[in-house]
Amino acid sequence: MTTGYARILDTLCRKTFKDSAIAWFITDLQGTIRYWGGSLSRLNLPEPGSDTQICDLLVFLEGMIPVADDELEFSFIELPSGVCVDACIYRQESSLDIIIWDSSRKQSHLRPTLQVVNEMSLLIEKKEKLLADLDAVSVSDTKTDMKNGQAPPGFLGEFFAALNVAVLEMDDQGRFFLFSQPPPWLDSLPQAERLRSGSPLEEDCFSFLGNFIQEAKTRWDQGQKQTFGSGLWIEEDHRGEELLFEASALAVQGRRLLIISKDACLPDEKQAIIQKGRDLALHYDNERKSGRQLRSLNDILEIRVRERTRELESVNQQLSIELRERKRAETERTQALEQLRQSQKMEAIGTLAGGVAHDFNNILSGIIGYTELSIVESGENEKLDKILGAAYRARNLVQQILTFSHQDAREREPVMLSRVVNEVVGLAMASLPADVGIDSDLNSNAYILADSTQIHQVVMNLCTNAWQAMAENGGMLSVGLQERELDEKRHLLLTIKDTGPGIPADLMDRIFDPYFTTKEEGNGLGLSVVQGIVRKSDGYIEVDTAQGKGTEFRVIFPVWDLRNQSKL
C-alpha cells in the first residue's frame, strides 16, 4: 500500500510537476524517512540517508512530530537554507505523507503588497497627527473648523511662515482676517493690531492696497484661479521707515487669500522662490490626490516639507539681507550722484560765469578807460560820473563772479579776523537804522590765512544780510568772535546773528546756490560767494534758523599760527 502510494507520487512529480521544485516524503509516525522523491536539489535540500529524520531536513517540523492532526498546511515557510516553501502534511495510520514545493514566486508577488500595506499601516499609526493636519487643510469644507486668526496647521502654515509673508483670507462677507501666523514684520502694516487680534477687517482698512482688492474680488467672483500680483508699493511705518511691499491674490482650495510680502525681491530671486513654492505645492497636491498613496508617502512628504521649509527660510533670510544691502547701496549711490550732479552744476556755472566775467572785464575796462578819458577831456560831467560809478560797481560784481568761480588769483595772507570784524561793525554802526541795535563781542585776536579784502567782503555780506532781515521790524545784530578747539586744533568761530523772521525751511538748502536770492534787487551771488571765500580759506559755514526768532551764521576758520610760517 505504502509503496504503491509512493509510486503514484513519484510518477506525479516526474511527469506532471517535472519542471517544478516539488518534493515528497513518506515517513513513519516518528518522522524517519522511508520513501522520498521529487527535485530535492532544486529545493536546496540534501538527499536523505536510510534513517534520516524528516526534522533534520525540514527543520520546521521539529516539535510537530508526532503530528496529532490528520492534515496540516503551511504556506511561506522560509527555511534556513533560504528556500521558501509551502507544505502539506497528511497523517495516515502508520505513516506521514509530506509534500513541499517552492513558493518563492508566490511570495515574491505577495511581498511587495504586504510590504506596502504594512508600511502604510505603520505610517497611518505614526503620522495620525500629521494626517489630521493635512486633512484639515486639504478638505475645504473643514475651513469653518479653523477660527479666524488661527494659524493654518501643517503644510500651508509652515510654507507661509517660511516665505515670511502675511496671508489674509477673505470671508463670505468680503472681510479679511489673518490666515497665517503673523510674520515678524506685521506691525509695519496698517491695522496690524486688529489683524493680530484675529478680528476680520473691512476691505477699506486696506486702502493701501488700492484697487487691487477690488480686482481680486472680481476675479474670485468669476471663479478665476490664477494668481495675480499687485506690483510694488512703498509704505511708511510708524517709525517713518520706508518699506517695500507686494501683494498677490490667489484662490486655493476654496480659500481666497491675499499674500502680502515685505521687501519684494528681484525677478530672478522671486522666480527661485516661486519655483520652490510651486514644486512644494505640486508635490503636496499629488500626494493629496493619490489618497491612499499619501499615507505611504507621508513620511517622505513630511521630510521634504521640512527640508524645503528650511531651504526657503535660508533663501528668504539671504534675500532680505541682500535686499537691505542693495537698498543701502542704492541710497548711497543716489546721494553720491546728487553730490556729483551738484558739483558739476556748480562747476559749469563757475566756468560759464568765469568766461563771461573775463569778457565782461575787458568790455568794462574799455568803458571805464574811455569814460575817465572823456571826464579828463570834458571836465566835470555828472552824467559821465554816473557811468563811471556804474562801471565800477559792475567791475566789483565781475570780481565777485571771478572769486566764486575760483578764477581769480588772489594771494592769501595772515589776517587778524577781529580787526576786519571791527572795521565792518564800525561801518555798520554808521549805516544801521535806529531800531536795529548792534552788539559786538570779540574775544580773540588770532590770525587766519585768507585774502583780507575777501574776508572783509564775507563779514560785510553776512552783516548786511542780517540787518536787512531786521529792516522791517527792527531787532538786534550780534557779532561774536571766539576761539574753539576742534580736532585738537585752534579755530576761530565768527557768529553773526539776527533776530529777524528766519529763513523759511524750504529755502534753507538753496541759500548757498549761486543766483539764489529772496531780495528783489539782489544779484544772488551773495552767499555763494561768501561760501566760496570761506572754503578757500579752509573754513566752513553753518546756519541755524528759527521761524520768527532769527538766524545765526557761524563761520569757522582754522587759526593761522604765527610760529607756523610754513603754511604761508
Q: In 3D, which of 189, 182, 281 has the Cα closest to residue 233?
A: 189
Listed ranges 67-75, 235-243, 280-288, 456-464: which one lies at the site for other proteins (CB under 8 A): 67-75
Residue found by looking up cell 508566490 in the block = 106
3-state DSSP call for residue 157? helix
Other beta carbons within 10 angstroms of residue 401's beta carbon come to 25
Q: And the C-alpha cell for 192?
A: 496690524
Question: Binding to other proteins (CB under 8 A): which residues in 2-61?
Answer: 55, 59-60
Q: How far is CA 437 from CA 434, 458, 498, in A?
A: 7, 20, 10
Q: Are strands 436-442 and 228-236 parallel, antiparallel or unpaired?
A: unpaired
Among 5, 32, 42, 76, binds other proteins (CB under 8 A): 76
How far are the Cα atoms of 155, 160, 257, 301, 302 from residue 309, in angstroms, in the given order?
9, 9, 20, 12, 10
Nearer residue to other proteins within complex by CB, 125 or 506: 125
* Binding test (CB under 8 A) with other proteins, winner from 119, 187, 313, 423: 119
Among 84, 353, 421, 530, binds other proteins (CB under 8 A): 84
Number of residues that bind other proteins (CB under 8 A): 31
- Which range of residues in 23-31, 73-81, 161-169, 342-350 is near other proteins by CB under 8 A? 73-81
Check residue 63 and give left, alpha or beta (phi > 0: left; psi -120 to 50: alpha). left
Question: What is the DSSP annotation of 274-305?
Answer: HHHHHHHHHHHHHHHHTTHHHHHHHHHHHHHH
Hey, what's the cell of 87?
507544505
Place of cell 568761480: 405
Does the protein bind other proteins through residue 367 (CB under 8 A)? no
Q: Cα-flanking dihedrals φ and ψ of residue 278, to 5°?
A: -65, -45
Residue 438 interacting with other proteins (CB under 8 A)? no
- Minimum gap (Å) between residue 56 Cβ and other proteins: 10
89 or 353: whose CB is closer to other proteins? 89
The pairing of strands 165-170 and 95-102 is unpaired
The least CB distance from residue 101 to other proteins, in Å, is 14
Strands 436-442 and 475-486 come out as parallel
Task: Report the nearest approach of other proteins to the CB of residue 131 (Å).
Answer: 16
Q: Does 73 bind other proteins (CB under 8 A)?
A: yes
* Residue 131 in the binding site for other proteins (CB under 8 A): no
567: contact with other proteins by CB under 8 A: no
Q: Which of 47, 62, 332, 385 binds other proteins (CB under 8 A)?
A: 62
Q: Which residue has the cell 568766461?
A: 355
Distance of closest approach, residue 67 Cβ to other proteins, in angstroms: 8
Q: Which residues pair with residue 476 across a beta bridge? A: 437
| Of 119 and 269, CB closest to other proteins | 119
Which of 51, 70, 125, 172 lies at the binding interface for other proteins (CB under 8 A)?
A: 125
Nearest approach, Cβ of 60 to other proteins (angstroms)?
5
Contact 553, 541 (CB under 8 A): yes
How far apart are CB 112 and other proteins at their closest, in Å? Answer: 10
Smallest gap from Cβ 334 to other proteins, in A, equals: 55
385 binds other proteins (CB under 8 A): no
What is the phi/psi pair of residue 261, to 5°?
A: -120, 145
**Cβ 180 vs Cβ 157: under 8 Å:** yes
Give the full edge-to-edge strand order of the sheet including 475-486: 436-442, 475-486, 489-497, 550-558, 540-546
CB burial of 354-386 (b: ≥16 within 10 Å; e: otherwise) equals beebeebbeebeebbeebeeeeeeeeeeeebee
- Give CA–CA dist 544/526, Å, rounded: 18
Binds other proteins (CB under 8 A): choice among 12, 29, 79, 438: 79
Assess contact for 24 and 53: CB atoms under 8 A.
no
Q: Closest separation between CB of residue 77 and other proteins, Å?
A: 5
Nearer to other proteins, 108 or 445 (CB): 108
Confirm or reject binding of residue 72 to other proteins (CB under 8 A): yes
Kindly state the helix (H) or strand (E) to which residue 84 belongs, with its residue range: strand 84-91
Least spacing, CB of residue 45 vs other proteins, in Å: 14
Nearer to other proteins, 86 or 538 (CB): 86
Which parts of 12-153 fold into alpha helices (H)? 54-57, 104-126, 128-138
> Phi and psi (nearest 5°) for 487?
50, 40
Nearer to other proteins, 306 or 535 (CB): 306
> 47, 78, 236, 330: which one contacts other proteins (CB under 8 A)?
78
Contact between 423 and other proteins by CB under 8 A: the answer reads no
Entry field: residues in the chain: 568
Judged by CB under 8 A, the stretch of 112-120, 440-448, 451-459, 485-493 that binds other proteins is: 112-120
Asked if 540 is part of the footprint of other proteins (rule: CB under 8 A), the reply reads: no
Considering only residues 476 through 535, tell me which ones interact with other proteins, judged by CB under 8 A: none
Residue 331 CB neighbour total at 10 angstroms? 10
What's the closest the beta carbon of residue 98 comes to other proteins, in angstroms? 14
Query: Applying CB under 8 A, which of residues 14, 18, 92, 114 lies at the interface with other proteins?
Result: 114
DSSP 8-state class, residue 42: G
Which one of the spans 103-111, 167-175, 453-461, 532-540 is the region binding other proteins (CB under 8 A)? 103-111
126 binds other proteins (CB under 8 A): yes
254 belongs to the binding site for other proteins (CB under 8 A): no
Q: Is 207 in the site for other proteins (CB under 8 A)?
A: no
* 117 is a contact residue toward other proteins (CB under 8 A): yes
Instruction: By CB under 8 A, name the one of 5, 12, 32, 74 that touches other proteins.
Output: 74
Q: Which one, of 346, 287, 281, 335, lies nearest residue 308 by Cα?
A: 281
CB of 100 to other proteins, least distance (A): 13
Phi and psi torsions of 457, nearest 5°: -60, -40
Contacting residues toward other proteins, per CB under 8 A: 55, 59-60, 62-65, 68-69, 72-80, 84, 107, 110-111, 114-115, 117-119, 121-122, 125-126
